[in-house]
Amino acid sequence: MACTLDLWTDAVKKNSYMSITIHYIDEMFNLYAYTLHVKPVEEANHTAEMVLEEFNKGLTVFKVMVDMYQQTIVVSDNGSNCCGANGILSAFYWLACFDHKLATMLTTVVNKTTKMENGVRSKPFY
């Protein structure tokens, strides 16, 4: 079983959310992916410990048993709140999401920008 974990804060109301999507195969190797839930996260400080606690609460709602944790892989971004030693890594096997790595690389390396000269913005350049 693998779980995809994502945290974000909406830009308008500044509410924080966590989503958990579960991925697994059955005995016939059919792949299933279900979003277990998207839950509000009240804690303002998104530490690794808080993420683990909220993630465990999310799994508990759907009766994912603690004895299944050794067989569970969690995929998330590289944020220290997701891959910190006292968080997800302390209870689960963790993998960095390649999509997040690729997006970070592309926005950092290939991001177009502009500059101001004499109060005039330049054309975009890379």
Residue with tokens 């913005």: 121
Average pLDDT rounded to a whole number, residues 88-101: 80
Angle of CA points 118, 121, 124, to nearest 5°:
140
Residues in the chain, total: 126
pLDDT 10s digits, 36-80: 888 888 876 778 898 888 888 888 777 766 666 667 888 888 777
Name the helix (H) or strand (E) containing 126. Answer: none
Domain ranges in the chain?
Answer: 2-97
CB atoms within 10 A of CB 55: 22
Which pLDDT score, from 0 to 100, does residue 85 have?
81
- Sequence letter at residue 49: E
pTM score, two decimals?
Answer: 0.68
Residue 21 near residue 4 (C-beta atoms within 8 A):
yes
Q: How far apart are CA 44 and CA 50, in angstroms?
A: 10
Which pLDDT score, from 0 to 100, does residue 111 have?
67
